[in-house]
Amino acid sequence: MSGLSVRKVESLSKRNKKLQFIRQNQQLSISELTVQTGLSETEIIEVIAIFKAEASSRPTALSPFPFDKHSLWKFVLFLIFPVFLFYLPVLNNDFVNWDDQQTIIDNTHIRSLNFSSIHWMLTTNLASYWIPLTWLSLAFDFFIGGMNPKIFHFTNLFLHVLNSGLVFFVCLRILNFARKSREAIENKAGVSFEIPVAFLTAILFGLHPIHVESVAWATERKDVLYSFFYLLSLLFYVKYSPSGGLKGSRFYACLGFFFLALMSKPMAVTLPLIFLTLDWWPLRRFQDNFFKVLIEKTPFFVVALLVGLATLTLHPEGIVITENFSMAFRIMNAFRSLVFYLWKMILPLNLVPLYPVPQLKDGAYYMGNYLSIFLIILVSGACYYFRKKAPYLTVAWLFYLVTLAPVLGILQVGVQAAADRYTYISSLGFFLPFSAWAVALTRNRRMLLAIFSVILIGTLGFATVGQIGVWKNSQTLWENVIKVYPDDSQIAHKNLATAYQLSGRLDDALREYEKAILIPPPMASAHSGRGTILFEKGRKDEAIQEFKYAISLEPNYLSPRRNLAVCYERMGMHDAAVAEMQTADKIARENAEQ
C-alpha cells in the first residue's frame, strides 16, 4: 500500500470494499479498522491521510454552513424590505408609449388563456423573440386585474424582490466555495466574510438605479422573469456540482430552470458558459476530469441550440444586422458599451431609457472608442496575468463579458447605442468583487461596515425612487431622454409629441414632431404625426403633403394612408378617400396573410 498516490487510492476505493469501509468509517479507531479490514496499522494510517488530503484539496458541499442557517433569513428580510419599500412608487406608474402599447395594451392575445392564445404565445413573432413564458405571465396579470398597470408593475416588482434574495443565496454559496479554495480572499478577511459580501452584493443588485428600467418598464417582464429562472438554475448548479457527478433531482431542476429561463428570454443562453467558468474557479472541477465536466454540459447546450433553432424558425427576422451601421461601428460600439456600463454602475448619473447612437462625423473611429478598447484589453490582460493569484477577478470579468455578449450589438443594433436593462444579470460581475473589496477594507470593524451599508441603502434607494419617477408616464419618460440628449434622438421627440397630442397639448406636440423631422434619417411616423396636427389646425394642404411624404418613405405604412383618406373625405374628395382606404385595406390584408 505504501507509496500510493491520492488519485490511485481514490480510484481503488471505488471498487475495493476495504478502502470503501475505511473512507466511510474514519471515525473508528485504528485498531478497530485493522480488525475490520485486515490491513496493517501503517497501511490504514496512510490511507486515512490520503483521504483527508483529498477532502481538503477540493471544495466540499455547502451543508452545513459555517454559520447559523436561521440567521440567514434575518439578512434576507433585511434585504428585501428596503428593496420592496423603495420600489413601491412604481405601482403609481402608468404604461408608456414605448412597446407597452404593442405588447400589452393592444395585444388581444394576452386577454384570454385558451388553446388559441397558448398557440399564439408559442408561435408569435411579435417581439422578435421566442418568449412564450413571458407572454403567459402577462396573460395571468390581465386575468387577475385586467389592464390595470398596477398589476403588471407589481408582478415585475415581486420578481425583482425574489431575484434580489436569490442573488444573496447564489453569492453566499459561491463565496463559501471560494473560502474552501486556497486562493480565497476570506483568509484575509475573517470567518464571517461570506454573509456581508453576499448581502452587499444583493443590496447593490436590488437597489442600484441602473436596474429600474428592467422593473419599471412593464414590457421588460422578460428581463426579471428570465433572471428569476436563471438565478434558480445557477443556485441548483452550485448545489449538485460539488459531487463531481449528476445528483438526480438537483441536476434536472438546474436543467429545467434553464429551459424556463430560455422560454422567458433567449439571453439566458449564456448560462452553460457561466457554469464552465465556475467549474474552473471556485469549484475547481477541471482538476478531476475536464472532459467529464464538458460532457456534463451537453444537455444544456442541446436545449440552448433547440431554443435557438426555434427562434430562428419562427422568427427569421429576429436577428437583424442593421444596415445603417457598419461592422466597424458595431465592433467599436461593443467595446464602448462594456466601459459605458461599468461607468454607469460606478456613477449612476444621467440614466435614461434610451441612449441614442451618437451622431459622429468620424463614425466608429474616434478617441473615445479607442480608449475603450485599450481599457478592455488592459483589464483582460491583468485578469489573465493574475488568474492563479486572484482567480476571482478573472471569473468576475468573464461573467461580465459572457452575460453581456448577446446584447453588445455585433449582430443586432436598434435605435439605441446601449440600454440599462442589459446589465440586469451582468452587473453581478462587478457588484460581487466590489462588495468583497468593501468588506475587506472594513474587516473586524462591524460598526463601520454597518454604517457603510446603511448609507449605501439610503443613497441607492433615493436614486432608485428618482429613476422610477422617470418611468411614471410617457411624457416624463421622453422628457428625460430629451433633457440629456436634446438633439440626438428622433424617437424621443416623436414619442413625446405623441404623448403631448393625446393629452391635448397640440402646440407642444407640433414642436416635438418638427424637432424629430430635423434629425436624420427621415421618419415616416413623425411626418404622419405632424400631418395630423396640421389637419386639426386647419392647415389641410400642408397635412396632405406630410401624409404623402410619409407614404413615400414607407409605402406599407397604414397610418398616413388612413389619415390621408380621412383628410380627403372631410375636404369632400370622396373618390380619392375611397381609393386611399381601399389601398390601406389591401395592405392590411397582405400583412395579415404574411
Q: Tens digits of per-residue pLDDT, 115-157?
A: 999 999 998 878 778 899 999 999 999 999 999 999 999 999 9
Q: pLDDT tens across 238-285, in order? A: 988 765 555 578 899 999 999 999 999 999 999 999 999 999 999 888
Q: At what angle do helices 524-536 and 490-502 cross, to 10 degrees?
A: 30
The answer to whether the beta carbons of residues 353 and 213 sit under 8 Å apart is yes
CA–CA separation, 24 and 570 (whole Å)? 91
Name the domain boundary from 470, 503, 522.
470
The CATH number assigned to the domain holding 544 equals 1.25.40.10
| C-alpha atoms less than 13 angstroms from C-alpha of 199 in its C-beta half-sphere | 25
CA–CA separation, 101 and 66 (whole Å)? 50
- In a shared domain, residues 409 and 492: no
- In a shared domain, residues 29 and 158: no
- In a shared domain, residues 419 and 561: no
Cell numbers at 512, concatenated: 416635438
Q: What is the identity of the amino acid at 196?
A: P
Angle, CA 23 vertex, CA 22 and CA 26 arms, to 5° = 70
* Average pLDDT of the residues in 385-401: 94
Per the domain annotation, does 363 fall within a domain? yes
- In a shared domain, residues 428 and 491: no
For 470, other C-beta atoms within 10 Å of its C-beta total 23
CA–CA separation, 364 and 333 (whole Å)? 7
Q: pLDDT tens across 467-506, in order? A: 999 999 999 999 999 999 999 899 999 999 999 999 999 9
Residue at grid coordinates 466574510: 193
Beta strands in 543-590 (DSSP E): none
Name the domain boundary from 18, 35, 57.
57
Per the domain annotation, does 63 fall within a domain? no
Q: pLDDT tens across 555-590, in order? A: 999 999 999 999 998 888 988 999 999 998 888 887
Q: Which helix (H) or strand (E) holds 319?
A: none
Name the domain boundary from 420, 452, 470.
470
pLDDT, residue 378, reads 97
Q: How many domains does the chain have?
A: 3
pLDDT, residue 242, reads 66
- In a shared domain, residues 89 and 117: yes
Instruction: Read off the pLDDT band of 318 (50, 70, 90).
Output: very low
Distance, CA of 404 to chain centre:
8
Per the domain annotation, does 294 fall within a domain? yes
- In a shared domain, residues 45 and 124: no
* Average pLDDT of the residues in 68-87: 86
- The greatest distance separating any two alpha carbons of the chain, rounded to the nearest whole angstrom, comes to 111
CA–CA separation, 574 and 579 (whole Å)? 9
- In a shared domain, residues 192 and 274: yes
Residues of the domain holding 15: 6-57
| C-alpha atoms less than 13 angstroms from C-alpha of 319 in its C-beta half-sphere | 13
Per the domain annotation, does 1 fall within a domain? no
Residue 462 pLDDT > 60: yes
Per the domain annotation, does 62 fall within a domain? no
- In a shared domain, residues 464 and 485: no
- In a shared domain, residues 151 and 39: no
Cell numbers at 54, concatenated: 483529498
